[in-house]
Amino acid sequence: MKRIRVLVVEDSPVIAEHLRRIISADSRFEIAGIAGSGEEALLKVQQVAPDVISMDIHLPGMQGFEATQKIMSRHPTPIVVVSGSRGDDVPISMRALQAGALAVVEKPPSSSHEDYAALASKLCTQLAIMSEVKVVRQREPQGSRVSDGISGSTRAPAGRRAYRVLAIAASTGGPSALMLLLSALGKDFPLPILIVQHMTPAFLEGFAEWLGSVIPLPVTIVRSPTLLEPGRVFLAPAEKRHLTVRGSLAYPDDSAPNGVHRPSANVLFSSIAGATGSAAIGVLLTGMGDDGAVGLGELKRAGSWTIAEHESTATVYGMPAAAVRLGAVNELLPLPQIAPRILELVGVAREAE
């Protein structure tokens, strides 16, 4: 079996050796090279053509997020950010995700630490998964809309109505997609927005802070029953709990994982279908796997309007593709077209009020 070639980018020789030992101990991998700076990483990517990159964010000279940006614009390669989970590491890690990195994982501690085995395993798992992602320079397709044959994808929803909630789910590639979509909705968006973003729990707080700093809407992690207010973003809590809706409140939910996910997009979408019927807009963005497809189908059957991100802009087309296969999608759109469409839908509903 062909082994996965990993480029390790790390300026500390001690940590670089630590990571080399962890990765080399897994028979799936071989070390393609080690780079001690962003500039060296750019050269190594050309020289050794790795399958995946383990990227530090604190580098001499060019920082990790800058190196990520340059690699993704010149030699697109799957990048996993290996970072601390405290202090200024988190916002810098979020900038790396914004620049095109696929995932962020905690840097494994020394082998004597109680969390060493779990975090080392998580690093290797993420490197293996992300090595399979085909990252390319993506261009928006020609034409005003892309329907891919989805029946009625360009028609306005039947039975004009006032929408009560917008629900969005994303996984791999989600942070940057969410930033772009939510920014385009504007500061006066009239609905509460509920989001499931699959993310390592240690980075959730930092992700919420970062997202709130780059979009014009306030961001809240739902840790207790919370009133759904218009123009606010409500994030699912860490992976131990789901996010659900009952009446006018958002709730953290301790029920069992849905498949392997907790929080799960399926659980969020299903709860909204039960709570709002036809008065929701559901959006499924980039992500690996199929979480959200079944729940989006429930929203559609309840009469809500469902949108999935088109393959041309999705970092990973897994979740949207699964929803399309199930017939759960009213409209399949490239990312830049989703926010204008949502505003159009909300505008139609408000005119009807």
Question: Catalytic residue numbers?
Answer: 171, 198, 291
Q: 224, 252 in Cβ contact below 8 A?
A: yes
The identity of residue 119, as a single letter, is L
Whose tokens are 């385009």? That residue is 184
How many Cβ atoms sit within 10 Å of the Cβ of residue 170?
30
Q: What CA–CA distance (Å, rounded) separates 234 from 219? A: 6
SS3 of the chain: the string is CCCEEEEEECCCHHHHHHHHHHHHCCCCEEEEEEECCHHHHHHHHHHHCCCEEEECCCCCCCCHHHHHHHHHHHCCCCEEEEECCCCCHHHHHHHHHHHCCCEEEECCCCCCCCCHHHHHHHHHHHHHHHCCCCCCCCCCCCCCCCCCCCCCCCCCCCCCCCCCEEEEEECCCHHHHHHHHHHHHCCCCCCCEEEEECCCHHHHHHHHHHHHHHCCCCEEECCCCEECCCCCEEECCCCCCEEEEECCEEEEECCCCECCECCCHHHHHHHHHHHHCCCEEEEECCCCCCCCHHHHHHHHHCCCEEEEECCCCCCCCHHHHHHHHCCCCCEEECHHHHHHHHHHHHHHHHHHC
Query: 347 burial class (0-12, 13-18, 19+ CB within 10 angstroms)?
Result: exposed
